[in-house]
Amino acid sequence: MSNTVTRRELRTARRQLHPRQQHQHAIQVRQHLSHQCWFLNAQHLAFYWPTDGELDLRPLLQYAHLHGKTCYLPVLKPQHTRWGRGKLWFARYQPGDSVQPNCFGIPEPRSRKFRLPWQLDLILLPLVGFDADAHRLGMGGGFYDRTLAPLQLRHSGRRPHLIGIAHDCQRVGCIVPKPWDIPLDAVVTECRIYCRQSSMRKPLVSYRTTI
Binding residues: 54, 136-144
Out of 95, 141, 177, 203, the residue judged to bind ligand FFO by CB under 6 A: 141
Q: Name, in order, each residue with C-beta under 8 angstroms of 16's C-beta and a sequence gap of 6 or more.
A: 53
Asked if 206 and 193 count as a contact pair (C-beta separation under 8 A), the reply is: yes
Q: What is the spatial distance between Cα 81 and Cα 142, in angstroms, rounded to a whole number?
A: 18
The whole-angstrom separation of Cα 69 and Cα 82 is: 29
Q: Name the 3-class secondary structure at 4.
A: helix
Site mask, ligand FFO, residues 92-131, x = CB under 6 A? Answer: ------------x-x-------------------x-----
Summarize as ranges the residues that interact with ligand ATP (CB under 6 A): 137-146, 149, 178, 180-181
Binding site as annotated, residues for substrate: 54
Report the residue from 77, 144, 148, 188 that binds ligand FFO according to the rule CB under 6 A. 144
Residue 106 contact among ligand ATP, ligand FFO, none, beta carbon within 5 to 8 Å by kind: ligand FFO
Q: How far is the CB of 121 from ligand FFO (least distance, A)?
A: 19
Tell which one of 3, 24, 34, 51 touches ligand FFO (CB under 6 A).
51
Nearer to ligand ATP, 69 or 165 (CB): 165
In the DSSP assignment, the letter for residue 157 is S
30: left (phi over 0), alpha (psi -120 to 50) or beta: alpha
Residues annotated within the binding site for ATP are 136-144
- Based on the shown chain and the rule CB under 6 A, indicate whether residue 139 belongs to the binding site for ligand FFO: yes
Q: Which of 138, 166, 185, 204 binds ligand FFO (CB under 6 A)?
A: 138
Element (H, E) at 45: strand 44-46
Amino acid symbol at 135: H
Pairing of strands 107-109, 99-101: antiparallel
Partner touching 13 among ligand ATP, ligand FFO, none, CB below 5 to 8 Å by kind: none
Sign for the pseudo-dihedral over CA of 47, 53, 56, 58: positive
The interface partner of residue 178, options being ligand ATP, ligand FFO, none and the CB cut-off 5 to 8 Å by kind, is ligand ATP
Contact (CB, 8 A) for 48 and 124: yes
User: Which residues bind to ligand FFO, rule: CB under 6 A?
Assistant: 48-51, 54, 74, 88, 104, 106, 126, 138-141, 143-144
